[in-house]
């Protein structure tokens, strides 16, 4: 699953950048999954991104550009280089702008970094912050990358809090009504049980009286 826009970019050797510059820009647009027409999402989106990035003498740096999200998130970046160590940096996009800064962005400004053949880092990213994950400073290699995120608990707006408070109040009132109804039903069942007990107690006596009256009625008919 991707956020609204994940763009892959590459920075070329300076002697060949003029030839390949337009191609790099087109590549970024083609690989981007865009949704800017719909605006920024209201909630932080889950991220599960897997990519293979090629580095060589012509393409000396690659990046994965992650769009800003409305809430805080923790990124997990896992990477494996097939043929040697590679440097990995996580920058705020404002600190590593454009293709040139893929190679020149100051490592001291990185939110997190690592240099290894394989590794994993976790980095907290503030809300509304676009991120660039840059791979560079390697020989010819393929870097397999997996980026996921953990979403911080979203703050509730005032309307939602008020709605939840009203629902809690209504729930308490309904619970009180239900408890009172249960109490009344219990009292009614108790009365019914007492009436049934009394009826069973008097039934033989009433049956006896009925039998006597019926007998008298039959005798009168005979006369």
Structure tokens at 187: 């009292």
Of 128, 151, 174, the residue that ends a domain is 151
164 in the same domain as 62 = no
pTM higher than the cut 0.85 = no
Using an 8 Å Cβ cutoff, are 70 and 152 in contact?
no
Q: Is pLDDT above 80 for 73?
A: yes
Mean pLDDT of the chain: 82
Of 151, 171, 204, the residue that ends a domain is 151
CB-count burial class (<10 Å; 0-12, 13-18, 19+) for 206? exposed
CATH, residue 91: 2.60.120.680
CA angle 151, 134, 39 (to 5 degrees): 50
Q: Please, which pLDDT band fits residue 161 given cuts at 50, 70 and 90?
A: confident
Residue 1 lies in a domain: no
Domain that holds residue 44: 7-151
Q: Is pLDDT above 90 for 200?
A: no
Count of domains forming the chain: 2
> Number of helices and strands (H, E) in the chain?
3, 9
Cα-based torsion angle of the residue sequence 123, 124, 126, 131 in order, rounded to the nearest 10 degrees: 20
176 in the same domain as 113 = no
205 in the same domain as 97 = no
160 in the same domain as 145 = no
145 in the same domain as 48 = yes
Mean pLDDT value of segment 120-139: 94
Q: Is pLDDT above 80 for 94?
A: yes
Q: Is pLDDT above 50 for 26?
A: no
Of 134, 151, 168, the residue that ends a domain is 151
Residue 99 lies in a domain: yes
Q: Is pLDDT above 70 for 130?
A: yes
176 in the same domain as 126 = no
Structure tokens at 37: 């027409």
Structure tokens at 75: 């990124």
Residue 103 is predicted with a pLDDT of 93
Mean pLDDT value of segment 63-78: 93
Nearest to 124 by CA among 74, 53, 70: 74
Structure tokens at 206: 């009433």
Mean pLDDT value of segment 71-93: 95
Residue 2 lies in a domain: no
């Amino acid at each position: 699953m991707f956020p609204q826009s994940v763009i892959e970019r590459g920075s070329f050797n300076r002697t060949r950048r003029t030839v390949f510059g337009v191609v790099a820009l087109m590549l970024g647009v083609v690989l981007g999954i865009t949704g800017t027409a719909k605006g920024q999402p209201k909630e932080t989106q889950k991220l599960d991104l897997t990519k293979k990035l090629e580095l060589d003498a012509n393409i000396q740096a690659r990046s994965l550009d992650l769009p800003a999200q409305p809430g805080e998130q923790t990124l997990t970046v896992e990477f494996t280089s097939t043929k040697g160590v590679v440097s990995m940096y996580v920058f705020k996009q404002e600190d590593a702008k454009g293709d040139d800064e893929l190679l020149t962005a100051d490592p001291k400004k990185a939110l997190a970094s690592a240099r290894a053949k394989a590794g994993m880092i976790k980095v907290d990213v503030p809300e509304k912050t676009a991120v660039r994950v840059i791979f560079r400073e390697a020989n010819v290699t393929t870097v397999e990358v997996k980026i996921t995120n953990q979403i911080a608990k979203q703050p509730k707006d005032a309307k939602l809090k008020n709605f939840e408070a009203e629902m809690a109040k209504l729930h308490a009132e309904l619970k009180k009504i239900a408890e009172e109804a249960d109490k009344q039903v219990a009292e009614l069942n108790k009365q019914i049980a007492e009436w049934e007990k009394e009826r069973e107690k008097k039934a033989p006596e009433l049956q006896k009286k009925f039998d006597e009256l019926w007998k008298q009625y039959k005798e009168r008919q005979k006369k």
